[in-house]
Amino acid sequence: MGKNCFFLVARPLLRIQSQFVEFANHGSLEKHGFARSRVWSIDPDPPPFSANSSSQACVDLILKHSEEEVKIWPHRYEFRLRITLGPGGDLMLTSRIRNTNTDGKSFAFTFAYHTYFAVSDISEVRVEGLETLDYLDNLKDKERFTEQGDAITFESEVDKVYLSTPTKIAILDHERKRTFVLRKDGLPDAVVWNPWDKKAKAMADFGDDEYKHMLCVEAACVEKPIILKPGEEWRGRQEISAVPSSYCSGQLDPKKVFQSD
């Protein structure tokens, strides 16, 4: 993805990987950035908790620039990540990125929460909320298309960036009669990815048949990079919940998914 990018890697429900954030650009940096492979610290001075957070479990993490990173990406930043688990199993990821440059320079970056959903059978999964939207197809040199059909289903490799997406997206698992509801703020785009069989076999850290039981749907900001001046801060949030699905005989009751908060 263009410019610089932050990615959060999480595999619900509910497992968060050790590679939390990808942060990269087109230069000599790692493909998915250096932040995901850095050691994060527990934030000793986290932002205040909301008044209704007493029933939630939270951990605040922080990542700051190091002199080693400045050599390959000449900017200073502070990244605060709050991971919140609600009593019903809802997962909320809240990010705050601040430009701490002292030389007056702005920086630009793209961002995505790299969430992998465990599904029963990818051929029985559909994604709703992205139909009729424009997308960039990474398998066709990021050529722009418009999504057709009533929902997104999967029969082959997919790697798309949907643009100007709604704040709610639903991932329906027909076999398990379960729907993941993804809510997001500050992240206008959404990435949908599944490597399918050939690419899965070529990936060293991916099982040959794992593509059958996963789907990556990422809340993202990709098309228009975020630009921060020194002292400015950006915030983004993603919440994931699982609800019983009314998807039966190919039907989803959208009122039960998209109007529930």
- Domain ranges (residues) in the chain: 20-244
Low-confidence winner among 91-100, 208-217, 230-239, 245-254 (lowest mean pLDDT) = 245-254
Low-confidence winner among 129-138, 170-179, 238-247 (lowest mean pLDDT) = 238-247
The structure tokens 């929460």 sit at 113
List, by residue number, the catalytic residues: 114, 218
The structure tokens 């990125």 sit at 97
Mean pLDDT value of segment 209-215: 96
Of 35, 213, 167, the residue nearest 110 (C-alpha): 35
Average pLDDT, the chain: 83
What pLDDT is attached to residue 30? 59
Q: What tens digit of pLDDT does each residue of 36-52 get?
A: 777 889 988 887 766 56
In contact, 221 and 227? CB cutoff 8 Å: no
Low-confidence winner among 5-9, 143-147, 168-172, 216-220 (lowest mean pLDDT) = 5-9
Whole-prediction pTM value? 0.84
Burial of 251 (0-12, 13-18, 19+ CB in 10 A): exposed
Q: What is the DSSP string of the chain?
A: --S-EEEEEEBTTTB--S--EEEE-SSSS-TT-SGGGSPPEE-SSPPPPPTT-TTSEEEEEEEE--HHHHHHS---EEEEEEEEE-TTS-EEEEEEEEE--SSS--EEEEEEEEEEEE-S-GGGEEEES-TT-EEEEGGGTTEEEE--SSSB--SS-EEEEE-S--SEEEEEETTTTEEEEEEEES--EEEEEE-HHHHHHH-TTS-TTGGGGEEEEEEEEEEEEEEE-TT-EEEEEEEEEEEE---BTTB--HHHHHT--
Of 170, 161, 152, 180, the residue nearest 223 (C-alpha): 161
Dist CA 225 CA 2 (whole Å):
8
Dist CA 163 CA 218 (whole Å):
12
How many Cβ atoms are within 10 Å of 255's Cβ, its own excluded?
Answer: 9
User: In CATH, what number does 20-244 get?
Assistant: 2.70.98.10
Structure tokens at 175: 């076999």
Mean pLDDT value of segment 214-240: 94
